[in-house]
DNA sequence: CATGAATGAGGGTTCATTCAT
DNA sequence: TATGAATGAACCCTCATTCAT
């Protein structure tokens, strides 16, 4: 195996599922505001579930309302439209992962190899939350007709994700762990197998589920083989 | 470098665009049947264009009919529903690529390395047809709501695609070109970067188009690094 | 009385009600087209009834469809929106009157006084069709929020109406029947009592209906007093 | 000319704009009641502005509340429904004009001609307040669907208005200024040009605004010609 | 008294599907 | 066989009205 040296600092993937609720429920000034915030979260959570199972267009706001246990019109007290609700769902679901990854990479002090390994383990952990790949699939499929969403997704998710990986690669090149030509590698080369596997696992799990534990380690091993000096 | 040794037998990517029309216009018994077949193809081609640019739900059968130059009701003489039309479109668009790839791999007589290189060059050539990645994106996003389509897609596209790659890998292991442990590699590890890059190139080409010529060679190089003995 | 000299050529007000149907049912090429045309008229007639009794905003297209004996969606085969349907209703209801008046004035060969008298008798006859004043009231009330309609109404109804009256006045001045300063008179000064009386008669007929026969002659007499040399 | 003899006692049109506020702020028993009354006026004023610019149906109570600087629910502490609020707005906007006109006519001691002239000058001054004609237009258009409003409007505005004009006419006949047959003249004959001109000026001012100063004097002149002995 | 969050019926509009011609 | 007019269910969104705080 190539990933021998991988060490200590593992990602606590177990609590990834609580990202969203943690992220939104800040301290609230008054009781009224607190409730409003809670209600807003209810809607986002219900919408997430509906979008994930129905796709964007096929999702009915009625169903979102029913699932959230509120009236149909209430949604419009919190969001301007179905589309902006979807954007919020994407934001709330995907942002926490990005932020955690960013701060982890920044603070990490081990070797680049270790960091790369841990970063991808984190990614796989994040994708375990089945909503994430579903949203990714929806965005990938419908981005063309929602330019605003496409821009937002590119700026806030794709670009930062690329930056992280490039940073890690640069660090590895500087330390002599990775080959110099690795700086040219497009980050999609590295991350695509994780994204697609997550999506496939959802959409085709009836046909043939992928064993993420095995798949992810093989992927990481493959990456290290491709990068090593 | 790993990618220099690639040789001779290149794919004639230039005529990839004609796949579909070729694939569908099979021999027809009588003249009447021939016309029916032609009409059916017109519809599929028109539907492909619409599905590709609008997505599944947003595509209107009116527009398909207009583009095909026929009446709206005529579509229902050839297809039972919008959904089954979509399935046919997927089938007709993706099958030819599979079949060409299969016969190519079967007949190839060079090294496994060469074959792998050419196979992926073919895949990238096939994905150049911009309809293909869009259909993939749609299938990936909506598979959950079209179980029949998901099953068909898995059986007819994913499984054969995996088989091909595994065959090539086995051949390379047998010849000593690839490491023995490569037989365990999931084919998605190898193919995902091509699929996702194609989709990204469509949905985010406004943000940052990928140079396929560069990307594909880098991808192939990366694969060979990961597989080599 | 001032209107003594009024003579012969009276307006056949009795058939004013048939304007619309006459105006639209042109000869139709094929049977299919004929039916489409008929259906279109059905919708306009139903819409006229609904708009007249409910006003623009309060009119439900469901009700229009029910009254026309068709499905709700059918309306959109003939009109782009509720607003454009309303425009068509206005056009079909008010145009015939304008055109008849124009050709009558042009062809008339008697004195200006006679012409003025007959013109206003025609106007009162036209307003007997109770739909007309109702549409006028709606336009007057909602024009501000439908600029397109306002423009159309001004160009096609108000301006031509003014032109007719000014023509008659000029003719009377030339013949010495009317005072020279009458050329400065705004046409609204002359026509407003007819318009408002028609509207009042509809909206307040429960309170105190106006006897049009008496009112119109008094109005005409008043006009002649104000114009005479 | 007929309009030169108009004399002295002109209407102080300058302060017509303050009618409304004056009219509503009656003396209030206690301080609490005074505040309630003030709040009520705020709502009416805000509603007037909204109704005038949006029409009845298009006016949103949210906007009224925002404009009044109060909560949305508060409106229902003062009015039973949107409709009754509208009635109150009409009442408060149109009443003051009626009352001022009535007392002016009653107290006037000059000739009937002078009185008629001044009365119409007052009317035109009153209509300068752009809210008035808009409310008139709305009432005219929607009276059929608000029978209660129609009745109120007829009793409180139309009938008194007619009475005033008939009084002036009678006075003129008695003094020999007006022809005897003038007693039969319907008051709408005289007042319609003012009403419609005001409405037209609002709804079609983009197309062709009417110069009220000129128009009103021509109208008055026309009336005197029609009435004179 | 005052608030404003919550409601849910209802409207305009779309579009897959049907069927008479 | 082919058509395209007709349908009507469904969806997003609005807003007058209510009521717990």
Choice among A167-171, A193-197, B100-104, C1-5 with the minimum mean pLDDT? C1-5
pLDDT tens digits along C33-46: 777 788 899 999 99
How far is the C-alpha of D226 from the C-alpha of C225, rounded, in Å? 5
- For E10, which residue's CA is nearest its C1'? C60
pLDDT grade for C201, boundaries at 50, 70 and 90: confident
Show Cβ contacts of residue D53 under 8 Å, excluding neighbours closer than 6 positions: C144, D134
Residue with the larger pLDDT of the pair B137 and C17: B137
Per-residue pLDDT for A182 more than 90? yes
Distance from CA of D74 to the nearest CA of C (A): 26
pLDDT grade for A19, boundaries at 50, 70 and 90: very low
Average pLDDT of every residue of chain C: 85
pLDDT grade for B138, boundaries at 50, 70 and 90: confident
Say which of D151, D199, D215 has its CB closest to residue C186. D215
Q: What is the mean pLDDT of residues C10-15?
A: 42
Which residues are registered as beta bridge partners of D104? none
Contact yes or no for D199/D146 (Cβ under 8 A): no
Contact yes or no for C192/C133 (Cβ under 8 A): no
pLDDT computed for residue C30 by the predictor: 61
End-to-end CA distance of chain D: 15
pLDDT computed for residue D111 by the predictor: 96
pLDDT computed for residue A17 by the predictor: 39
Q: Does domain D13-227 have CATH number 3.40.50.620?
A: no
pLDDT computed for residue D30 by the predictor: 65
User: Partners for A (CB, 8 Å, 3+ pairs)?
Assistant: B
The residue extents of the domains of chain C are 13-227
Task: Verify whether the Cβ–Cβ distance A140 to B142 is below 8 Å.
Answer: no
Residue of A nearest to B205 (CA): A144
Query: Which of D60, D155, D196 is the best residue to mutate to test the C interface, defined by the most C CB atoms within 10 Å of its own CB?
Result: D196
How far is the C-alpha of A8 from the C-alpha of A110, rounded, in Å? 10
Which residues of chain C does D195 touch, with a Cβ-Cβ cutoff of 8 Å? 192, 196
Question: What torsion, rounded to 10 degrees, do the Cα atoms C213, C217, C222, C226 define?
Answer: 140
DSSP count for chain C of H helices, then E strands: 11, 0
Residue of A nearest to B188 (CA): A193
Other residues' Cβ atoms within 10 Å of the Cβ of residue D66: 14
pLDDT grade for A32, boundaries at 50, 70 and 90: low
- For F15, which residue's CA is nearest its C1'? D60
Q: What is the mean pLDDT of residues A111-122?
A: 97
The integer distance in angstroms from the CA atom of A17 to the C1' atom of E10 is: 40
pLDDT tens digits along D71-80: 999 999 999 9
Average pLDDT of every residue of chain D: 84
b/e A12-32 (16+ beta carbons within 10 angstroms → b)? eeeebeebbeeebeeeeeeee
Question: What torsion, rounded to 10 degrees, do the Cα atoms D154, D41, D18, D153 define?
Answer: 0
b/e A93-110 (16+ beta carbons within 10 angstroms → b)? bbbbbeebbeebbeebee
The integer distance in angstroms from the CA atom of D62 to the C1' atom of F15 is: 9
pLDDT tens digits along A183-203: 999 999 999 999 999 988 888
- For E11, which residue's CA is nearest its C1'? C60
Distance from CA of C218 to the nearest CA of D (A): 7
B209: left (phi over 0), alpha (psi -120 to 50) or beta: beta
Which residues of chain A does B199 touch, with a Cβ-Cβ cutoff of 8 Å? 140
Which residues of chain C does D156 touch, with a Cβ-Cβ cutoff of 8 Å? none
Task: Verify whether the Cβ–Cβ distance C206 to D141 is below 8 Å.
Answer: no
The percent of residues in chain B predicted with pLDDT above 70, rounded, is 86
Q: What is the mean pLDDT of residues B60-87?
A: 94
> Is B148 exposed, middle or buried, given 0-12, 13-18 or 19+ CB atoms closer than 10 A?
exposed
Say which of D185, D207, D215 has its CB closest to residue C150. D207
The integer distance in angstroms from the CA atom of C42 to the C1' atom of F3 is: 23
How far is the C-alpha of A65 from the C-alpha of A75, rounded, in Å? 7
pLDDT tens digits along B15-26: 443 433 434 444
Distance from CA of D183 to the nearest CA of C (A): 12
- For F20, which residue's CA is nearest its C1'? A32
Query: Which of B53, B134, B141, B157 is the best residue to mutate to test the A interface, defined by the most A CB atoms within 10 Å of its own CB?
Result: B141
Task: Verify whether the Cβ–Cβ distance D142 to C147 is below 8 Å.
Answer: no
Task: Verify whether the Cβ–Cβ distance B193 to A195 is below 8 Å.
Answer: no
The percent of residues in chain A predicted with pLDDT above 70, rounded, is 86
**What stretches in chain D show pLDDT beneath 70?**
1-32
pLDDT grade for A9, boundaries at 50, 70 and 90: very low
How far is the C-alpha of A121 from the C-alpha of A116, rounded, in Å? 9
Q: Which nucleotide is nearest to B59 (CA to C1')?
A: E15
Average pLDDT of every residue of chain B: 84
Per-residue pLDDT for C8 more than 60? no
Which residues of chain D does C185 touch, with a Cβ-Cβ cutoff of 8 Å? 218, 222
The integer distance in angstroms from the CA atom of D74 to the C1' atom of F19 is: 12
pLDDT computed for residue C18 by the predictor: 41
pLDDT computed for residue C68 by the predictor: 94
Provide the positions of strand E that have an atom within 7 A of a protein CB.
1-21
Distance from CA of D113 to the nearest CA of C (A): 16
The integer distance in angstroms from the CA atom of C62 to the C1' atom of E11 is: 9
Per-residue pLDDT for A33 more than 60? yes
In 3D space, the residue among C110, C111, C139 whose CA is nearest the CA of residue C52 turns out to be C139
Task: Verify whether the Cβ–Cβ distance D206 to C150 is below 8 Å.
Answer: yes
- For F11, which residue's CA is nearest its C1'? A60
Query: Which of A222, A225, A228 is the best residue to mutate to test the B interface, defined by the most B CB atoms within 10 Å of its own CB?
Result: A222
Would you give the DSSP letter of residue D143?
G
pLDDT tens digits along C126-169: 998 878 888 888 888 788 778 888 888 899 899 999 999 999 99
How far is the C-alpha of A96 from the C-alpha of A92, rounded, in Å? 7
pLDDT tens digits along B31-56: 667 777 889 999 999 999 998 888 88
In 3D space, the residue among B139, B149, B143, B130 whose CA is nearest the CA of residue B212 turns out to be B130
In 3D space, the residue among A47, A16, A215 whose CA is nearest the CA of residue A134 turns out to be A47
């Amino acid at each position: 195996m190539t990933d021998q040296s991988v060490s200590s600092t593992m990602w606590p993937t177990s609590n990834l599922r609580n990202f969203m609720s943690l992220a939104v429920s800040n301290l609230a000034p008054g009781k009224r505001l607190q409730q409003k915030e809670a209600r807003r979260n209810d809607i986002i959570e219900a919408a997430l579930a509906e979008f994930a199972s129905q796709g964007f267009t096929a999702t009915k706001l009625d169903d979102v309302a029913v699932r959230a246990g509120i009236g149909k019109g209430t949604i419009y007290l919190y969001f301007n439209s179905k589309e902006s609700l979807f954007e919020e769902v994407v934001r709330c679901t995907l942002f926490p992962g990005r932020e955690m990854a960013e701060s982890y990479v920044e603070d990490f002090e081990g070797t680049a190899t270790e960091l790369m390994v841990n970063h991808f383990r984190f990614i796989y952990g994040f994708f375990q939350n089945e909503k994430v790949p579903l949203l990714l699939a929806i965005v990938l499929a419908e981005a063309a007709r929602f330019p605003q969403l496409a821009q937002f997704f590119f700026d806030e998710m794709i670009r930062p994700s690329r930056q992280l990986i490039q940073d890690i690669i640069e660090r590895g090149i500087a330390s002599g762990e990775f080959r110099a030509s690795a700086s040219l590698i497009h980050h999609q080369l590295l991350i695509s197998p994780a994204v697609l596997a997550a999506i496939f696992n959802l959409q085709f799990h009836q046909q043939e589920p992928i064993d993420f534990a095995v798949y992810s380690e093989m992927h990481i091993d493959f990456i290290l083989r491709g990068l090593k000096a």
